[in-house]
Structure 1
Amino acid sequence: MNSLTPLAPAVSADILIALLVFLFPLAYSPGPGNAFFAAIGASRGLRATVPALAGYHVATFVVTAVIGIGTGAAILEHPLLAKVLGAVGSLYVLWLAVTFIRAARVKGGDTADAAPVRKQRIGFWDGAIVLLMNPKAYYIITVMFMQFLAPSAGSNVTAVLVITAVFTANNLAAFMVWALGGRALTALFRSEPAKRWIDYLFASSLIGVAVWMAAPLFT
């Protein structure tokens, strides 16, 4: 009777460990995605981050898998398309920053805008658009696969999906930590003037995200 040979894993343990070491500083250090979710957590609470987190990371999984399989890398061959994505994404994040500024004005006593601001909701598609319109995310994902997808596994969809899942889960954990941090900051400063200035602070951080996304326009 022949003994069964165990199947080799799609991605070896040492590659996974190296991948996590590579991704940790990218995900947990201050960056555009972190600022985006910290801002939502601070201004609207943890529950309000859930739809945007879902949208962002569903988009992350899809885009990462498509690039890993190879069909999504074509976007990087068209610099003009990358610039258009950066411009649209930058304007969209600027619009989100305006909603934070309006919220801060309401907390300061400008009741004329109170009703529309309270109804303003950052949802699933807002999170997805922030990822989809960020060409730098495409470059980061491409570099990740160049480093951690073995050439012999280039057509191995299982290996691509494993790396994609690790990348997405790591980002999700990091952004949840930052959302919690944003909410903790709001809880620490309970007065209305302090909360108003926190909204201004995170609106400024979103403006910084918009500038970061627009950078390809000037290169």
Structure 2
Amino acid sequence: MNALPVDPHLYMAYLGAMAVMAFTPGPANVFAIATGMQRGKAAVIQAVAGMNIATLTWFVAAALGLGALVKAFPQVFKLIAVAGALYVAWLGLKALIKAWKPAPAVALAEAEVTTSRSAIVDGFMVQIANPKAILFFTAVLPPFLALDKPMVPQLSLFAAGTIGFDIIAMCCYGLGGAAIARMMVRPAFRRGFDIAVGVLLLLAAGLIASRL
């Protein structure tokens, strides 16, 4: 009998998916780059702290909401998990399709940094309203949760993995600034990156499906 709050194999799949998603350019990473270029390295660390406080806020809300959902509507939660597995697979297929589509090198979208507030507050506001974060908690996370185990220990481990990878990725983007941005827009690098993303996400979706 496995006494661990999370199945080790499923948790490794989750960490792989999170590593990919954390380093995929999105609002948070673009904001980190802009903060580093406009406000300096100290502001990057503060912005990263603010963004991850927002992520932790989302996890606390998930612990409260998902726990209640599992108890009241276990079948609904099961459907959400199936939909989430399909969504992860779709993300993987999209990445593979994108890798083989010719596309011009386009710079990462510019992010406007508000300097009238602290970098921590700016980072929190960016992440709390980040569509990528909202989609993560409604579609990506549920398939990795086990209905027969307590929610809080599971979500604590998932939060640790998510925030850990987010901190690494956001700091790399923010402190690397323009150098990271240039690397991500090179066609050959982006093709290899998209292929790796697609394969890892499809593997994660397959493992999720095998546990449903």
Normalised to the residue count of structure 2, the TM-score between the two structures is 0.57
- Would the aligned equivalents of 1:46 and 1:180 in 2 still touch at CA under 8 Å? yes
Q: Quick one: structure 1 residues 73 and 182, their matched pair in 2 at CA, closer, same or farther if it must change by over 3 Å?
A: farther
Partner in structure 1 of residue 187 of structure 2? none
Partner in structure 2 of residue 67 of structure 1? 62
Q: Quick one: structure 1 residues 72 and 56, their matched pair in 2 at CA, closer, same or farther if it must change by over 3 Å?
A: farther
Is 1:35 the counterpart of 2:50? The answer is: no
* Aligned-pair CA distance for 1:25: 1.8
1:38-187 matches, within 5 Å, as 38-70=33-65, 97=112, 120=116, 122-153=118-149, 155-182=150-177
Output the amino acid matched with 1:34.
Answer: N
* Deviations, residues 95-146 of structure 1 (Å, cap 9, x unaligned): x7275xxxxxxxxxxxxxxxxxxx7564211111111223441221222322
| % identity of equivalent residues | 31
Output the amino acid matched with 1:152.
Answer: D
Distance of 1:128 and 1:63 partners within structure 2:
11
Equivalent of 2:16 in 14, 21, 31: 21
- Which is richer in helix? 1
* Aligned-pair CA distance for 1:147: 1.7
- Would the aligned equivalents of 1:68 and 1:160 in 2 still touch at CA under 8 Å? yes
Partner in structure 2 of residue 213 of structure 1? none
Distance of 1:120 and 1:182 partners within structure 2:
21
Output the amino acid matched with 2:41.
Answer: L
Residue 57 of structure 2 aligns to a residue whose secondary structure is: helix
Partner in structure 1 of residue 189 of structure 2? none
Q: Quick one: structure 1 residues 46 and 126, their matched pair in 2 at CA, closer, same or farther if it must change by over 3 Å?
A: same
Between structure 1 and structure 2, the one with the greater Rg is: 1
Distance of 2:68 and 2:176 partners within structure 1:
34
* Aligned-pair CA distance for 1:19: 0.4
Partner in structure 2 of residue 105 of structure 1? none
Output the amino acid matched with 1:47.
Answer: A
Normalised to the residue count of structure 1, the TM-score between the two structures is 0.55
Instruction: Point out where structure 1 has 5 or more consecutive residues left out of the alignment.
Output: 1-5, 75-95, 100-118, 187-219
* Aligned-pair CA distance for 1:12: 2.6
* Deviations, residues 152-174 of structure 1 (Å, cap 9, x unaligned): 12x43111111112111111111
Runs of 4+ in structure 1 deviating by more than 6 angstroms, as ranges, are: none
